[in-house]
Amino acid sequence: MTLSTRMSLALGLLAVLMLAAIVHILVIFSIPGSVTHTAFSDAAAFGPDSRFNVLPDILPGREPLPDLDPAMSHAVCRFHLDEGPVRFTATIPAPFWSMGLFDASGQTIYSLNNRTAGSDTLSLLLLSPSQLSILRQNPPEDLDDLIVIETEQTEGLALLRAYLSHPVQKSELRSALNSAQCAQMDPRNQTGN
């Protein structure tokens, strides 16, 4: 069988396009798994894990993490769920604040702001499915005030954003962010605090 020149050129072009489409899809899907630095890994530079570390001001050329709002003050916490549920508590004197929980790849686990939190203080418990079943048998006393979130992820990043309405309040806001808690709870002793 011999193909005409035009036919073989068309077939060749089709093969190129199909191969290009396959390579394109493979590249796009391989990016999330092959990036060398993520927001989760970058956040380790701001301080120890399992506590909220206040980020420096967002100034041109010195942005601590990309794509943050310069009008906000931020604190990040890297949490690990494998040693027990993590409890987030904060009292932030700002007209607006919000917290997002993200897994290590940057996908949102949960997010809330000070209106949806229902009160001025944040009090949230993040746990794995197995820790939730322990919690059901032995519920903490203040369960009614807690937002309980279950996740399959074992580690991730919490980002607290607080609106700085006036520069005068900056030190007050920073100390509130600094005293926000992101601590591991002992899974066997949730009532004892």
- Which residues contact other proteins by CB under 8 A? 1-4, 8, 12, 15-24, 26-29, 31-32, 35, 37-39, 41-42, 58-61, 63, 65-72, 95-96, 98-100, 102, 105-108, 110-113, 115-116, 157, 159, 161, 163, 165
Three-state secondary structure call for residue 54: strand
| Residue number with CB closer to other proteins (56 or 95) | 95
Vertex 132: Cα angle to 128 and 134 (nearest 5): 120
Rounded CA-CA distance 157/135 in Å is: 23
Number of helices and strands in the chain (H, E): 4, 9
| Residue number with CB closer to other proteins (113 or 189) | 113
How near is the Cβ of 170 to other proteins at its closest, in Å?
A: 14
Q: What are the backbone dihedrals phi and psi of residue 127, each rounded to the nearest 5 degrees, phi first? A: -145, 165
| Residue number with CB closer to other proteins (119 or 137) | 119
Rounded CA-CA distance 53/16 in Å is: 50
| Residue number with CB closer to other proteins (15 or 143) | 15
How near is the Cβ of 167 to other proteins at its closest, in Å?
A: 10
